[in-house]
Each structure stands twice: as C-alpha cells, then as structure tokens.
C-alpha cells in the first residue's frame, strides 16, 4: 500500500472551498466536493487499498457540519492527512452572498433563520476546529491568483514550477489566432 496525501477542506460557506478545489484539481489532485457522509467509510476503505497512482493525491471538501466525521475517519488512517480551513470576515461573506444571490446551506437546512445568523453559527463551529488545521487561510482580502499561489506553496506535488508550451496551427487566410 502506498501512502496517500489526503487534504480535507472545510470552512465557512462562501470562503472559497470550491475555488480551492479547482486549484487543487489543476495541480493534479483527485477532487471531490460535498462527498456524502454515508459513503465515507466505504470510500476510505477503497482508497486505502487502491494502488492506481491517480489516487495518490486526494482532496475532499465538506461543510462544517460534516467535517467531524470526515476527520474521524481519515485521521485514523496511515496516510498524510492534512486539514485546510478556509475562513473569511463576516462582512465580506455577506457581500459575497448578496452579489452571487446564492442561499447559505444553513438556511436551506433550517439551522439558521437569517444569513447573518448562519454566518455567525459557522464562525462558532469553526472556533472548535482551528486546532486540527494543517493550514488556515483567511480569504477576506485574497484575489483568486493570490489564493492559488498560497495553495501551491503548501500543497504542490512537485517543487519545480510548471511550464507549458502550446503549439497552435493556423492559416493566414482565416486570420491570426486571437491569443497569438
């Protein structure tokens, strides 16, 4: 059995879990967002026995209410398990929710009655989890490229910077490519 790196990602809703998953996926991680808790034990068992190198680097994102179960299952395994917590200022979260017009998960599940209550409740839940974190990132003032740099700094699969070259074939009669 080869040792796997498993990143458990949690944090306040709206703090950037989905963006972080996209960054990790681009880096080569196998990413699963909002994995059902009921399938967790089966998934952990399969992953432990899996020898395919595509599954050596896994990132799982979950909400704060389910994180305890994720941490319990994976912290007992003989793998490199790291917890990444994403946090954000309450005022910025309010702004983000108002601009995207998405509904907060705690409002959907009737655990809170207002957006402000939902953000406050998640903040309280987060206080209890901070000591489990390998890394906590406050995304309040981070731009997407700054978040990418920070994630790459701590979770890169290689120490060498990536470099890519694109070869594009085109004909002058059709015009020069827009991104040339």
Hunting for tokens 């709206």 — which residue is that? 14
Q: What does the pLDDT read at residue 155?
A: 94
Tell me how far CA of residue 25 lies from CA of 33, 54, 97, 166, in angstroms: 11, 12, 24, 20
Residue ranges of the chain with pLDDT lower than 50?
none
Domains held by the chain: number: 1
In a domain, 179, yes or no: no
Q: What does the pLDDT read at residue 179?
A: 65
In a domain, 163, yes or no: no
In a domain, 172, yes or no: no
Instruction: Write out pLDDT tens, residues 51-71.
Output: 888 889 999 999 999 999 999
Which pTM value belongs to this model? 0.83
CATH code where residue 76 lies: 3.40.50.300
SS3 content of the chain, % helix, strand, coil (to 5): 50, 15, 35
Domain with 140, as residue range(s), is 5-157
In a domain, 93, yes or no: yes
In a domain, 174, yes or no: no
């Amino acid at each position: 059995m080869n040792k796997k790196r498993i990143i458990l990602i949690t944090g306040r809703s709206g703090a950037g879990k989905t963006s972080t998953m996209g960054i990790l996926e681009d880096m080569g991680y196998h990413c699963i967002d909002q994995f059902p808790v009921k399938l967790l034990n089966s998934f952990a068992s399969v992953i432990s026995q899996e020898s395919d190198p595509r599954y050596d680097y896994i990132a799982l994102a979950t909400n704060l209410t389910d994180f305890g179960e994720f941490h319990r299952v994976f912290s007992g395994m003989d793998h490199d398990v790291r917890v990444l917590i994403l946090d954000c200022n309450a005022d910025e979260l309010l702004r983000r929710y108002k601009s995207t017009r998405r509904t907060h998960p705690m409002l959907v599940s009737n655990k809170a009655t207002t957006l402000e209550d939902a953000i406050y409740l998640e903040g309280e839940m987060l206080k209890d989890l901070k000591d489990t974190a390998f890394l906590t990132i406050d995304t309040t003032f981070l731009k997407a490229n700054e978040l990418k740099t920070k994630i790459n700094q701590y979770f890169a699969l290689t120490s060498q910077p990536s470099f890519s070259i694109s070869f594009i074939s085109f004909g002058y009669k059709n015009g020069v490519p827009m991104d040339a």
